[in-house]
Structure 1
Amino acid sequence: MTTAIATRTVASADGTKIAYQQAGSGPALLVVDGALCYRAFGPAAALAKQLQDQFTVYTYDRRGRGESGDTKPYSVDREIEDIAALIEVAGGSVNVFAMSSGAALALEAASRLDGIAKLAIYEAPFIVDDSHPPRVGFQETLDALIAEDDRSGALKFFMKTVGAPSIMVTIMSLTPPWKKLKAVAHTLPHDARVLGDRGLGHPLPANAWPGAKMPVLAFVGGKSPKVMHNAQQAIVDQLPDARLVELPGQTHMVKAPVVAPHLVEFYRVV
């Protein structure tokens, strides 16, 4: 019989309640989701299950998702404060694993916050050169669609912009998970703000994350497009203690059994 893991909350600096779960034992590990994902939808639960024998794993709902609050107006600074609150809950020091746009958020947090011992990221979706068309108008279009409460429209625009074929998007819109996606579609502009202008095809600015001096491991899937490979290499080149690991046969979809052994090795090496 599986014991249910209790959901807890912590108040962020602005008073917003952030829902999280804690599982396992060992060094603290915080998982940061990408766009549209939260504890009940996405890879975080599977990752926690894979890692909880080695770590005390903290998974949480980013603000506006799942059981967390959504105090307005949104700011990337508030999301970084959410991470700071969770670091305090975990005892003041954590390892972090962050995925997709969550990786972009975690890089900002690692540059600004104390208490992140090691950081692993999976395919931060930057565009740093001409290997992919720039996401011109990405933020503005998502803002407009959500302002009209066109959540399905925002989801379709987002998915097509990040490379999903139109026919796949149409099929997805007819499946049961679409309802869960619509429930968090209003947070898509949040992730666009996290990415900022790093989807426009410009090289990363020099010293982009000056405070991120901890060891960093960047993952890229072997089957992921050139734009992802180039972006992760650009991130690694910016940081003083970083390396890139290519996962053969993998794509942007995080598979817990594949990535977990690499995380265990990375976090456990002193």
Structure 2
Amino acid sequence: MDHATSADGTLIAMHEVGAGPTVVIVNGALSTARDATEVAHAFAEAGLRTITYDRRARGDSGDSALAAPEREVEDLAAVVAASGTDAAVIGHSSGAILALYAAGEGVPMSRLFLSEPPFRFGEGDPAEDLEDRLQAFVDDGHPEEAVVLFQREAVGLPESFIEQFRASPAFAQISRLGRSTIYDTLVTRRVSTPSTEMLGVRMPVTILCGDETMPILVTAASRLAEMMPHAEFLQVSESVGHRMDPAATARIVAARIAG
């Protein structure tokens, strides 16, 4: 494990596997770099040098007192710079929103892959005070309640699913990421609708969407593709349940990087 130093001095944990052209993976909500291990190894087997990193307030990365989307943009810029070469970036879920936002802010990327970005386009955004309520749970020492609130109001999961997850062994580990829900809420609200800068990025863009995923994600990916006519849109039959299929995604990414 290595670290990149973000603009505000926060250390961002990076993990590297493989050799070849560089790809940086940006994870979605309630996940760490470890959750991308299978994808990273599939990329490595496809001939790519793959870097995963713990987004701010997750895993082995640090954090700052005030949460802001700009800090996550700076974090990704630091990871790309630390990679030492022109890097492609692939973001999944809220990580795809962050990756496109960062590209629009000028973070250098050779190519950009967006996997099921949950853009809402200003429709059905969470309540404006959600970040404050999430912060209150974290400040009171109840990050697990922040996770539940995020799942309920930001993601829109049904109560039956939330209660089932809460009773599972995995919940204890996920609850440690309560603080990170504030960052995901902030970045998805900031760019609920992609900005002109985001839609006009100059690097090649591929938008990926699984065949069996939540309808809101299919709608978001299709709508984004319509707004970015220069982007490539691919339906990935192997990716199901809002999860990137490692082998299929690796084939797609490696083929496009190879040209």
Q: Same fold (TM over 0.5)?
A: yes
Partner of 1:4: none
Partner of 2:103: 110
Q: Say which is worse superposed, 250-259 or 20-29, in terms of deviation.
A: 250-259
| Change in 2 beyond 3 A, CA 1:94/1:187 | same
| Change in 2 beyond 3 A, CA 1:124/1:230 | same
Partner of 1:24: 18
Q: Which runs of 5+ in 2 are unaligned?
A: none
Deviation at 1:220, TM superposition (A): 1.4
Q: Please report the TM-score for the alignment, with normalisation by the length of structure 1.
A: 0.86
Q: Matches of 2:195 and 2:22 in 1, distance apart?
A: 31
Deviation at 1:81, TM superposition (A): 1.2
Matches within 5 A, 1:80-229: 80-128=73-121, 133-137=124-128, 138-161=130-153, 162-199=155-192, 204=193, 207-209=196-198, 212-229=201-218
| Change in 2 beyond 3 A, CA 1:206/1:159 | closer
| Change in 2 beyond 3 A, CA 1:194/1:205 | closer
Kindly report structure 1 stretches of 4+ aligned residues shifted beyond 6 Å: none
Q: Which runs of 5+ in 1 are unaligned?
A: 1-6
| Change in 2 beyond 3 A, CA 1:206/1:121 | closer
Deviations 1:155-202 (A, max 9, x none): 222223324332222122122211111111111011111112555xxx
Query: Does structure 2 conserve the Cα–Cα contact (< 8 Å) formed by 1:28 and 1:58?
Result: yes
Partner of 2:253: 263
Partner of 2:243: 253
Query: Does structure 2 conserve the Cα–Cα contact (< 8 Å) formed by 1:213 and 1:239?
Result: no
Q: How many residues align?
A: 255
Task: Give the 3-state SS of the residue equivalent to 1:120 in structure 2.
Answer: strand
Q: Matches of 2:195 and 2:165 in 1, distance apart?
A: 40
Partner of 2:225: 236
Opposite residue 7 of structure 2, the aligned amino acid is: A
Deviation at 1:114, TM superposition (A): 4.5
Deviation at 1:223, TM superposition (A): 2.0
Q: Please report the TM-score for the alignment, with normalisation by the length of structure 2.
A: 0.89
Query: Does structure 2 conserve the Cα–Cα contact (< 8 Å) formed by 1:207 and 1:238?
Result: no
| Change in 2 beyond 3 A, CA 1:74/1:163 | closer
Q: Matches of 2:229 and 2:96 in 1, distance apart?
A: 17
Task: Give the 3-state SS of the residue equivalent to 1:58 in structure 2.
Answer: strand
Query: Does structure 2 conserve the Cα–Cα contact (< 8 Å) formed by 1:213 and 1:241?
Result: no
